[in-house]
Structure 1
Amino acid sequence: MEDVLDLYHEPYDETRPVICFDESSKALRGHERDPLPAEPGAVARVDHRYTRNGKQRLHISTEPLTGWVNVEITEKRRTSEWIDRMVELADVHYPDANRIRVVMDQLNTHKPAAFYQFFPPDQAQTYLDRFEFHYTPKRGGWLNMAEIEIGVLKRQCLDRRTHQNQNEGGNGLQLD
């Protein structure tokens, strides 16, 4: 716990950003019957029954000191998706950073050694040299600010029915 708190206490350094990372699942639930819109003298009416349309996984990265938040949506939550998010941080979002310090939980898919499963040894080591991983203690996920972002998303928009949005070839969620 002290390790994560000490990290949060450090001043901002763009060459050594602190990124919080977490994942969450969202069940996709559609309407069995179309809702009836609000009319003068009547509120909108939504049937409590729904159809199950699978799940999507949200991968949240946030840099608390700048307010930057990135959400990626995937079908599954595996080590390969975690590796993709870390590579995206290194190559797309922070290509000029010397060291990317990532705060995350101790989920079984968050294994730095897995870089060697997906890349040749020299490339895996190059990525690992750019990362510094800080793990929240078990039952201490509240220390991860990405979890706070997930809570905000759930309260502001993910607490209603959603379904998969395939418009424009996208892999996203459509809120009702």
Structure 2
Amino acid sequence: MWADCWPRLTSNPTRAVTGSPPPDPNFEDKVKDICQVYEQAATRAEHGELTFSLDEMTGIQALERTMPDIAMKPGRCTRIEFEYIRHGTQTLIASFNVATGQVDQATVGDTRTEQDLESHLRALLAQVPDASKIHLVMDCLNTHQSESLVRLVAEREEKPIHLGQKGKTGILLSMATRAAFLSDPSHRLVVHFTPKHCSWLNQIELWFSILVRKLLRRSSFTSQAQLKAKILAFVDYFNRTMAKPFKWNYTGKPLVA
């Protein structure tokens, strides 16, 4: 197992620091739900239910160091050139399998639009056509409550669902109505939203930190294409040699003395 994953915040940072009410009125219920999703992931996987933690890592810079590194010597660490050339950025969309610890789908591109997320999810779902149920842990970004995602969830249901018209009627009326539909536990694809300002509850963020430490922080990239290729190669390497489920100990209780 990876080291125990204790968030470095209280379960309600805003209230602990300022005494003000939580920014999300359903904070405690959402935290409890996500912790239960993580706790039950392995058992659910045995019965054909899969659990994924998904998010986007935006603005990954393709930085080329102007001079090569100076190799380490006895008593001296590797020295990295501080000047660099910018070659643009890429966005990574990744889906982390909570039960296996692998990144089952990684998409690297120029943008993170609603259509990008839809394409990513369709590629992910195509890998697991026999899954009886899919659980997705995501934050409350607007693209995570989009019309495309609602239609994707509706497609997986046995009976047709009347969705209405975006911004006018029915399930597609607003972000609130779309979020309520996406969170419906009776669906074959259920989204579990983290509370506002609580992306730290999303396990994919822990994997992103591994990506930064192992690849991005010290590497040099001559182009966006090379950056993309190295990220995808690292995902493959990680899945083959490093992947383990995170040991999630947080239960939703305040981490205060």
Displacement after TM superposition at 1:111 (Å): 2.3
Greater percentage in helix? 2
Displacement after TM superposition at 1:73 (Å): 1.1
Q: Kindly provide the amino acid, as one letter, of the partner of residue 112 in structure 2.
A: R
For residues 115-134 of structure 1, the aligned pairs below 5 Å read 115=149, 125-127=154-156, 130-134=188-192
Displacement after TM superposition at 1:44 (Å): 6.2
Moved more, 142-151 or 6-15: 6-15
State the partner residue of 2:133: 99
Moved more, 77-86 or 126-135: 126-135
Do 2:90 and 2:224's aligned partners in 1 also have CA atoms closer than 8 Å? no
Moved more, 138-147 or 104-113: 104-113
Matched, 1:5 2:39: no
Greater percentage in strand? 1
Structure 1's unaligned 5+ residue stretches are: none
Matched, 1:156 2:214: yes
Which of 188, 198, 202 matches 1:140?
A: 198
Do 1:28 and 1:161's aligned partners in 2 also have CA atoms closer than 8 Å? no
TM-score where L is the length of structure 1: 0.79
Residues of 2 paired with 1:111 and 1:161: CA distance? 35
Which of 24, 33, 55 matches 2:57?
A: 24
Which structure is richer in relative contact order (CA contacts within 8 A, separation 6 or more)?
2
Residues of 1 paired with 2:111 and 2:134: CA distance? 25
State the partner residue of 1:83: 118
Structure 2's unaligned 5+ residue stretches are: 1-30, 158-186, 234-257
Displacement after TM superposition at 1:89 (Å): 1.6
SS in 2 for 1:134: strand
Residues 124, 69 of structure 1: alpha-carbon distance in 2 compared, 3 angstrom cutoff: closer
Residues 95, 46 of structure 1: alpha-carbon distance in 2 compared, 3 angstrom cutoff: same
Deviations 1:119-140 (CA, angstroms, capped at 9, x unpaired): xx7x762246541101111121
SS in 1 for 2:36: helix
Residues 90, 36 of structure 1: alpha-carbon distance in 2 compared, 3 angstrom cutoff: closer
Residues of 1 paired with 2:51 and 2:69: CA distance? 46
**RMSD (CA atoms):** 2.9
Residues 113, 147 of structure 1: alpha-carbon distance in 2 compared, 3 angstrom cutoff: same
Residues of 2 paired with 1:157 and 1:36: CA distance? 15
TM-score where L is the length of structure 2: 0.56
